[in-house]
Amino acid sequence: MAPEFLPRIDAALALLQRVAIEYRPAAFADSYAVERATGAFILIDETTNQTVAAGMIE
């Protein structure tokens, strides 16, 4: 299944953004407030292998 891309968010306006990410197949995670080790993530650009975002799961 090909990934679906969302429109780019201009993060220059704010350092914090709230986004919804849908992942298939389902991935299991914990809330950051409950378990820091499994409640955070990073997003990596598969073309450049650069980290493009990091986040905490609410």
8 within some domain: no
Q: Which of 38, 50, 44 is nearest to 3 (CA)?
A: 44
Domain residue limits at 46: 26-58
Higher pLDDT, 9 or 36: 36
Look at residue 49 and tell me whether its pLDDT is greater than 80: yes
9 within some domain: no
Q: Give pLDDT, residue 7.
A: 64
Give how many domains the chain has, as a whole number. Answer: 1
The pTM assigned to this predicted structure is 0.55
Dist. CA 58–CA 45, nearest whole Å: 23
54 within some domain: yes
45 within some domain: yes
44 within some domain: yes
Look at residue 4 and tell me whether its pLDDT is greater than 80: no
